[in-house]
A and B are shown apart, each in its own frame.
Chain A
Amino acid sequence: MSALRVCSLYPDLMNIYADRGNIAVLRARCEWRGLGFELSASGLGEPLDPDSADLFYIGGGQDRDQALVARDMVETKREALHAAAARGAVVLAVCGGYQLLGHGYRVGDSELPGIGLVDLRTVREPGPRLIGNCAIEADLGTGPRVIAGFENHGGRTYLGAGEQPLGRVLKGFGNNGRDGFEGVRRGNVIGTYLHGPLLPKNAWLADRLIELALGVELEPLDDALEDAAHASARRAAGV
């Protein structure tokens, strides 16, 4: 079987909530199965080859860093990410990175540009940041399952009429604290506010992403500790 090729976008800027935990889990779960794992990175000003990876990852960043990244991503990576998504590569965008998948992120009078990979808009509205443990129910083709995590975002995200959310909020705020939905999913493009180390809390999701990226079915691992950690994150959210 071929190796999983992961490309981490702006890993030095978009990593505020320990996003590298996601990469660590993907790597370990590939290697424990004897699958290869190759990690590349693409930063500010660097062009992106759409065929260079099976899974593209972008995490969250501080406001200033997110603004730098937003402009750069539109200029240097938008077309490549559209091409990668069109050929079925997995794009996992978390927190600040999720906001940049849509048309833009408006804060006051200014708007950060997005790459328009999915039909959604994000707005900083009056009111508190949406912070707390969160759990959602999502179906990634293997039946409904729970994704547990933590969200911390000032922006409220609204999906366009034809767009599907990643899941239904069981506990927490989700996209905007109002409509009861969380994240976005179009094919293998996934965006979510469940930030930082999302995959350590949901090893099943890590495996599902590897399957979608490689078009394979994975053998199970001994996941006693992973299952216990998932249960712990769910319990924290009250689910």
Chain B
Amino acid sequence: MLRAGTAAARAVRALSRAARRGGTTLPGRVLLRLEPRAIELLGGRLRDGAVLVSATNGKTTASSMLAAALRRAGCEIVHNRAGSNMSWGVATALLDADGRARQLGLLEVDELWLPQIADQLDPRLILLSNLFRDQLDRYGELELIADRWAEVAARHDGRARFVLNADDPLVADLGRGRSQVTYFGVEDDSHALPGLEHASDSKNCRNCGSRYEYDAVYLAHMGRYRCPGCGRGRPEPQVVAERIELDGMRGSRVVIRAPAGRIDLRLPLPGLYNVYNALAAATAALELGAAPEDVRAALEEMAAAFGRVERIPVGERELLILLVKNPAGANEVLRTLALEERPLDLWLGLNDRIADGRDVSWIWDADYELLAGRVRRATCSGTRAEEMALRLKYAGVDAEIAVERDLGRSLDQALGAAGGTLYALPTYTALLELRDLLARRGVAGRWSA
């Protein structure tokens, strides 16, 4: 059924593209209905094998970075670049695997789908960046995802190379006792936080349960840690980001030191979280044979992945979109916003659709207190707009807080009142709606798989 399935799926994709819809999931759904083994069969056509990227945060950005570096190094890539990362999104992307040219599959994979898709594709490299508290109603506890990932590490040991974040204890632990592991990590104590953030989950050793001791915390529970009980600590990373200079929303400078050479990088994306994304992508790209110079050039040309630090001019104003979907990601965005010198005009879109997580409790885990005293005006929208507004009130945001559930009206109000840049912080489905609205108004292009 593969031939019939791919023909039908391609027809669906052509139709949805003609209708100017993104078309990232429906073709894959059709394909998997007609041929349940489609991912495995199409994956077999990838003559250069498959690379999987997963994480709670940054997987779309890190895989875009990795794709750019590999393209520059001359690879032909099959990639689910719009971030549709469940089985149907992967299947849709694999429609481009033709079996003729030498192609490398670069697939961003949802955390829960990783075990199944890894078994289907038998990847040559798996990049795992971080695990944070996210959508507990869908994903369950962090520990459960860590357990599933540990099974992936065991099953693919010796078959796949693992590229792992040494700074995240849950992720680093996956590589213990395994041979084909490359670790990356940050080494720059000038960016250490005073302590663990409130929303940190993995504070205790997976091996013995003792509380980790941290010499430095860089982001949520990521840092330089050691277990006083069993002595397990952060593994020594082979690829290191050092001498990091953050330059607000404009980006950062960082030196990446690797066995293959040194990369002096001027990264056009803001925040330490994007330094981590760049470091993860660079480590994987070097591991796959890209030259340091290709990695540097590709990362310096990075435009943001869809909805992650997108700048869109709207009339006299500029809309800067920053996806916010869980506490750890929100905190990085808020910390970066707090570096801006001028009072902020904000638009916050809080939706509770299935892809966002139905439970909006997480906004109380994120440190919106960082915005206190820094906001000129905030407009809250989305299906749970009022609860977003209340969160700001209790965070000590004493600016005018407007509530308007309707996305179009709220955006018009916010843009009308904004001084220059309007910072938009949507959850995932609010981002899709916002992007759709802007496309209908002709100020932003569509995207496609």
Q: Which residues of A contact B (CB under 8 A)?
A: 12, 15-18, 20-21, 24-25, 28, 62-65, 68, 131-133, 150, 152, 195-197, 200-201, 225-226, 228-229, 231-233, 236
Contact = CB atoms under 8 A, between A and B. Distances in A.
Contact of B141 (A16, A18, A28, A236): A16
A17 B387 contact: no
B203 A233 contact: no
A20 B365 contact: yes
B201 interface: yes
A76 to B, nearest CB: 17
Given A132-B358, A152-B136, A18 B394 contact: no
Contact of A24 (B136, B360, B394, B403): B394
B390 A225 contact: yes
A228 B209 CA distance: 42
Contact of A17 (B361, B385, B390, B403): B361
Contacts of B362: 18
B342 interface: no
Contacts of A195: 361
Contacts, number: 88
A200 B391 CA distance: 8
Contacts of A28: 394
B384 A17 contact: no
B141 A63 contact: yes
26 contacts: A16-B141, A17-B361, A18-B361, A18-B364, A18-B365, A20-B364, A21-B394, A24-B364, A24-B394, A28-B394, A64-B204, A68-B209, A131-B358, A133-B358, A150-B358, A150-B359, A152-B137, A197-B363, A225-B386, A225-B393, A228-B389, A228-B403, A232-B384, A232-B385, A232-B386, A236-B384
A201 B136 contact: no
B86 interface: no
Contacts of A65: 204
A152 B387 CA distance: 19
Of B137, B364, B385, B391, most buried by chain A (CB within 10 Å of CB) is B364
Interface in B357-404: 358-365, 383-387, 389-391, 393-394, 401, 403
Contacts of B224: none
A236 B352 contact: yes
A229 B390 contact: yes
Contact of B387 (A16, A25, A232): A232
Nearest to B361: A196
